[in-house]
Amino acid sequence: MWKFAWRNLLTRPLRTALALIGLSIPILGVIGLFSLSEAVRNLIGTTLSRVQGVVVLREGAFSPVFSDLTSDMLDKIAAVPGVRAITPEIWKIAPSVEGRSAAGNIVRNVLNRDPKAPSKQLQNLLDQPIVVGQDPTRRAQIKSEVFPKAILKGEAGGRYLEPQDVGTDHVVISTKIARDNPRPDGQPRKVGDSLDIGGKSFDIIGMYETGSMFLDVVVLMPIDTARKLLNVSPDTVSSFYVEGDDPSKNDELTARIEQTIAGVDGRSPNEFASNFGSLMSQLDLFLLATVSLALLVGVVGIINTMLMSTTERFAEFGVLRTNGWSRRDVLGLVTAESAYLGLLAGVVGFVLALVFTLVANQFLGSTGLSLSITPRNALLGIGLSLIMGMIGGFYPAWKASRMVPMAAIRLGAS
Amino acid sequence: MIAVESIRKTFRSGSHDVEALRGLSCTIDRGRLAFIVGPSGSGKSTLLYLLGALDQPTSGSIVVDGHDLTRLTESETNTYRRDHVGFIFQSFNLIGNLTCVENVLIPFLPRGITAAQRERAVELLTDVGLKHRLDHRPRQLSGGEQQRVAIARALVKDPKLLLADEPTGELDSRTGDEIYKILRQLQAQRQTTLVIVTHDRRFITSNDQVIEIQDGQLMGAGLATNH
């Protein structure tokens, strides 16, 4: 009977192909969007795994960029039991780099589209530089630093900020920022070159590369220099980076800091991960809801196809019933046809998603995001398609199975 | 033996009812070749379909070999259609994407086909002269050949009752003659009860039973010699 059902689908190839397209596109959406969601999760997970300490922010602030605390909190936090080292930080969106502001970059990217380098446009939209001011003296006590470990090996990497850099216009930048803001000769900037930030020239003393799109946008400079550049008063910092005696007890340390000092949030890597996981779960739900609408349209397409198919085949169903086929047999035949349709749409959707991820990965370039279709997502997409196909075929199948054989034959003959 | 007792069949057509059969009673002897004759719209095909349990009469009873078709359950009806009745239609009603052999094996498709059943199907197609057409599709066959496949399909289950609705209605007279020849031959060999609906009386011979219907009522029944 499965062979018979398969042949019935092939009898009307154009209609079958159209129904396949109708359902396979939502399946592409399911697989593609969930792959994207997983890629973002992986990237965030990788990024957070580099952060070993606790970040103290203003209560309710989304990130250090949107946080402001008073500088005198440093001593209070340092006095909390379990704190081994602490350093203040200033995080702000760079006013302009090489004369280009953040807002200007976005507008420029939209207006000056370069069809030869689409990945660069997308990357630029995601890569607005952020200035981070650090206290090189205090930073020297920190062991779990992300950026010093990412300094390139050899002469190309230069060095990280050190206590002698206090009061200088030295900066450490990423290779990405170096590429995005090339020298007049078009070559990426190197250690020893200068970089214009906010209309002021800075000397590049170090070059790092973390591989994460969230971290490789940072321009590091001494905190006093950052204050002058960004007009931040000496009484204010964005956040404190705190290292505990035992990194495995960061959650307890966070709780103690929050209990001791009012108006702050301590964020351990676990908490960042948890907050992000919760955000991504909500995003997944949103994606699912969006894709469900597309799936609904696909199912309606299957219903339409199968209804047309069964309406044309009344006589055939009448003949089958005349020859002893039960209602269940007819129901099974039509459901098998729609199941095949769903399964095929799932496979086609999966193949389209594979192509989509290959193309998307070219566009995402060096953002650190890498889409891949996990077996779980592939099975989810194909399984969902199979179920949708069967659901879509059920009503036409039920209708075909309920026909009185005599009426079916006469309707088919008329 | 088939005993039809006071059957009525009413169809809903738009906003009004149409009475296709009006209290018709008749009997058909076992192993007999019987013709149901009458003008178009007289209820001939409706009676034939009811004998094949393809629908239920509005009232009355139809007893075939002791089984009242009006009292069969859904499952019993399926079994009756599958195992006891063979049906031949005017427009052949073969399934286009199945081969000749597969069309003959339709009754067995849901439960899987055994080697013996396949052998039997080939044998029947050989009997009706289609040995060279086993794997052909219906569209590759002439009308007469398609009807011969339909005959093989009706016979594959060795039915006690063979029902044919205008089996030569879409064939030329020469091919129609061949089909009647085959039907008579098979009926005689197997002693199957064969009931044929027709408006063409030239195929009726003296030993055949004739049931004449007009306006859903029996106008006469008996051996052809009495008509």
Q: In angstroms, what separates the C-alpha of B84 from chain A's closest C-alpha?
A: 9
- Residue B73 near chain A (CB below 8 Å): no
Q: How confident is the model at residue A257 (pLDDT cuts 50, 70, 90)?
A: very high
Contact B55 A405 (CB under 8 A): yes
Q: Which of A1, A324, A327 sits opposite B107 (nearest CB)?
A: A324
User: CA torsion sign, B136 to B141 to B143 to B145?
Assistant: negative
The residue in chain B having the minimum alpha-carbon distance to the alpha carbon of residue A6 is B97
Res A113 pLDDT > 90: no
Q: Which residues of B touch A409 (CB under 8 A)?
A: 49, 54, 89, 93
Say yes or no for a CB contact (<8 Å) between A405 and B95: no
The DSSP H or E segment spanning B97 is: none
Is the sign of the CA dihedral B67, B71, B73, B74 positive or negative?
positive
Q: Cα distance from A2 to chain B (closest Cα, Å)?
A: 9
ipTM of the complex: 0.91
Domain ranges of chain A: 2-44+292-413, 54-267
* Residue A345, φ and ψ in degrees, nearest 5: -60, -40
Interchain CB contact of B83 with A (< 8 Å): yes
| Confidence class for position A124, pLDDT limits 50, 70, 90 | low
pLDDT digits (tens, 9 = 90+) for A70-102: 999 999 999 999 999 999 999 999 888 888 776
Q: Which residues contact B150 (CB under 8 A, 6 or more apart)?
A: B88, B89, B92, B93, B94, B103, B167
Helices (H), A365-374: none
Inter-chain residue contact A316 with B91, CB threshold 8 Å: no
Q: Is B55 at the interface with chain A, CB within 8 A? A: yes
CA gap B124, B83 in Å, rounded = 16
Across the interface, whether the CB atoms of A326 and B107 are under 8 A apart is answered: no
Minimum CA–CA partner of B153 in chain A = A323
User: Could you tell me if A387 and A298 are in contact, meaning their C-beta atoms sit under 8 angstroms apart?
Assistant: no
Q: What distance in Å separates residue A324's CA from the closest CA in chain B?
A: 4
Residues 93-112 of B with CB under 8 A from A: 93, 95-98, 102, 106-107, 109-110
What's the rounded Cα separation, in Å, for the pair B65 and B2? 6
How far apart are the two ends of chain B, measured CA to CA in Å? 22
Which of B11, B94, B95, B135 is best to mutate for the A interface (most A CBs within 10 A)? B95
Max CA separation in chain B (angstroms)? 51
Minimal CA separation from B196 to chain A, in Å: 16
pLDDT at A108: 57
CB atoms near residue A78 (< 10 Å): 14
Nearest CB neighbour to B81, from listed A315, A316, A323:
A323
Name the E strands within A73-179: 83-93, 130-134, 170-174
**Cβ atoms of A217 and A124 closer than 8 Å:** no
Contact A321/B49, CB-based, under 8 Å? no
Is the Cβ–Cβ distance between B155 and B132 less than 8 Å? no
**Phi, psi (deg, nearest 5) at residue B144:** -65, -40
- In three-state secondary structure terms, A68 is coil
8-state DSSP, B84: I
Q: Which helix (H) or strand (E) holds A25?
A: helix A13-50
- Give the model confidence (pLDDT) of B58-90 as tens digits: 999 999 988 899 999 999 999 999 999 999 998
| Cα–Cα distance, B131 to B123 (Å, whole number) | 8
Tokens of A410: 């006469």
pLDDT of residue A278: 78
A205 band by pLDDT with thresholds 50, 70 and 90: very high
Is 90 exceeded by the pLDDT of residue A403?
no
Beta-sheet strands, E only, within A65-210: 69-70, 83-93, 130-134, 170-174, 194-197, 200-208
Q: Which residue has the higher pLDDT, A214 or B19?
A: B19
Interface contact flag, A321 B54, Cβ < 8 Å = yes
Among B78, B90, B95, whose Cβ lies nearest the Cβ of A316? B95
CB pair distance less than 8 Å for A11 and B96:
yes
Q: Is the dihedral of CA A210, A214, A220, A223 positive or negative?
A: negative
Question: Which one, of B215, B180, B213, lies nearest residue B194 by Cα?
Answer: B180
Give the CATH number of domain B2-226: 3.40.50.300
DSSP label of B140 = G
Residues A221, A186 contacting (CB under 8 angstroms): no
Residue A247's pLDDT is what?
A: 80
Q: Give the nearest partner residue to A320 out of B49, B52, B106, using CB atoms.
A: B106
User: Partners of B149 in the beta sheet?
Assistant: none
Residues of A in contact with B43 (CB under 8 A): none
Percent of chain A scoring above 90 in pLDDT? 38
Domain positions in chain B are 2-226
The answer, for B40 touching chain A at a CB cutoff of 8 Å, is no
Cα(A132)–Cα(A161) distance, integer angstroms: 12
* Positive or negative torsion for Cα B21, B25, B31, B35: negative
Q: Rounded CA gap, A6 and B102, in Å?
A: 14
Phi, psi of B55 (to 5 degrees): -160, 170
DSSP output for A271-330 = HHHHHHHHHHHHHHHHHHHHHHHHHHHHHHHHHHHHHHHHHHTHHHHHHHHHTT--HHHH
pLDDT-derived band at A160 (thresholds 50, 70, 90) equals very high
Nearest CA among A388, A355, A356 for reference residue A23: A388
B133/chain A closest Cα distance in angstroms: 19
Cβ separation B97–A10 shorter than 8 A: yes
Q: Which residue has the tokens 């396979």?
A: A24
In the predicted model, what is the mean pLDDT of chain A?
85
Structure confidence by residue, pLDDT tens digits, A272-305: 777 777 777 888 788 778 878 888 888 888 888 8
Burial of B163 (C-beta count, 10 Å sphere; 0-12/13-18/19+): buried
CB–CB contact B89 A321 (8 Å):
no
In the beta sheet, which residues pair with residue A206?
A158, A172
Q: What is the pLDDT of residues B179-219, one digit of tens each?
A: 888 889 888 888 899 999 998 888 888 889 999 999 999 98
Residue A197: CB atoms within 10 A of its CB come to: 26
The radius of gyration computed from the CA coordinates of chain B, to the nearest angstrom, equals 17
Those residues whose C-beta lies under 8 Å from the C-beta of residue B217, and which sit 6 or more positions away, are: B21, B22, B23, B24
Q: How confident is the model at residue A413 (pLDDT cuts 50, 70, 90)?
A: low
